[in-house]
Amino acid sequence: MIDLNSGSGYAYGGVPARMATAAFVNGLVDRALEGERAAAGCRDYLGASRVGEPCARRLCYEVAGTPEDDGARPGGRLLRTFEAGHVFEDLSIRWLRAAGFDLRTRKRNGEQFGFSTADGRIRGHIDGVIVNGPDLGLPWPLLWEHKSASAKSWTDFVKHGVKVWRPLYYAQVQLYMAYMELEHCLFTAVNKDTLELHHELIAFDPAAAQALSDRAVAVIRSVEARELLPRIADDPDHHCCRFCPYRVRCHHLDGGVA
Ligand code: SF4
């Protein structure tokens, strides 16, 4: 029975009708996004943004297209978070251009700039290149990489710098600079809660880039040989494993094979 007098929409004995409506609509949205992701399929190449992942075995699973454990696929809420990152990126592009930076993000045909090597098994798509602008004390062009982060995470970035804050991102820009033949990167991160911006100049580190490139090749070779590189840990409760989508398979937690 609905309390029509209060106008609250409350259904006695059940969840409030307005909450049920929200849950119903959100369920539709989540299922639509999850369906889109499933239809897109998985990559059959190693993205440069993933090479700095701490666990080489996880990279093998990803490149081989190994199905994630049951229930471990990203749900609609996380997919919305990923997509919102693109919206923040578009805002940062507009703001930097307004400030006088000649930031190029697409080729004339609309494609992203990027690279492909090892017969297409290793690829990267960059956020952009700044070809001119206000004097930063460095020669143009600069690689441009963008991330959005929650307030707490963004504060850690400001305090510690990219290399300590997110070694994965540091590895990503080193590989991009290596393959795009750029010597510096302007790394921009926006605070999603306050819209504060922070920027860091990162220099190309040839030794780090070479080690990452060697790692990428080792992953591709092992996948082609249908082998797995070593786990980062034998303990399924290791901090890298706790949220890994291959945890059950990798550690034989269901008695199966890796
Ligand atoms: S469960 Fe741990 S060891 Fe296995 S792939 Fe994932 S991160 Fe690596």
Is residue 254 a contact partner of residue 72, using CB atoms and an 8 Å limit? no
Residues near ligand 1 (Cβ within 6 A): 55, 57-58, 61, 231-233, 240-241, 244, 246-247, 250-251
- Cα–Cα distance, 191 to 240 (Å, whole number): 25
What architecture (CATH level 2) is domain 46-250? Alpha-Beta Complex (3.90)
Task: State in Å: Cα 60 to ligand 1 middle.
Answer: 10
Counting atoms of ligand 1 from 1, which one is nearest the CA of 238?
2
Residues listed for the chain: 258
pTM over 0.85: yes
Contact 220, 120 (CB under 8 A): no
DSSP H or E segment with residue 190: strand 184-191
CA of 239 to the centre of ligand 1 (A): 10
Please identify, by atom number, the ligand 1 atom nearest to the C-alpha of residue 247.
1
> Atom 1 of ligand 1 has which residue's CA nearest to it?
247
**Which range has the top average pLDDT, 64-68, 70-74, 79-83, 166-170?**
166-170
Give yes or no for a contact between 241 and 247, defined as CB atoms under 8 angstroms apart: yes
Does the pLDDT at position 14 exceed 90?
A: no
Q: In whole angstroms, what separates CA 225 from the centre of its chain?
A: 27
The pLDDT value given to residue 255? 72
State the distance from the centre of ligand 1 to the C-alpha of 240, rounded, in angstroms. Answer: 7
pLDDT at 8 over 70: no
pLDDT in tens, 118-143: 999 999 999 999 999 999 998 999 99
